[in-house]
């Protein structure tokens, strides 16, 4: 999926995720609250694994990089 390219796409995604009606999204809750709910939602991200250091020698090598 690519990013949502307009406010209408974002509204549609919020309605789908939360089960909100169109009327509620437009008139029942503030835009800021919708954005804060969306920002705080759990999601999966790809992150690099923490490096494994074996002993003091490995730590010295790792710090030199």
- Residue 63 contacts by C-beta under 8 Å, 6 or more apart in sequence? none
8-state DSSP, 30:
-
Q: What is the pLDDT of residue 2?
A: 65
- pLDDT tens-digit series, residues 26-40: 999 998 998 888 888
CA–CA separation, 20 vs 33, rounded Å?
13
Within a domain: 51: no
The total domain count for the chain is 1
Q: Which domain holds residue 29?
A: 1-41
CA–CA separation, 14 vs 34, rounded Å?
8
Whole-prediction pTM value? 0.54
Termini Cα distance of the chain:
35
Residues of the chain short of pLDDT 50, as ranges, are: none
Within a domain: 23: yes
Pair 38, 14: CB distance under 8 Å: yes
Within a domain: 31: yes
Pair 25, 15: CB distance under 8 Å: yes
């Amino acid at each position: 999926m690519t990013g949502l390219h307009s406010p209408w796409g974002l509204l549609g995604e919020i309605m789908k995720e939360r089960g909100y009606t169109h009327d509620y999204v437009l008139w029942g809750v503030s835009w800021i609250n919708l954005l804060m709910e969306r920002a705080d939602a759990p999601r999966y991200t790809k992150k690099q694994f923490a490096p494994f250091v074996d002993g003091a020698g490995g730590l010295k090598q790792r710090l030199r990089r």
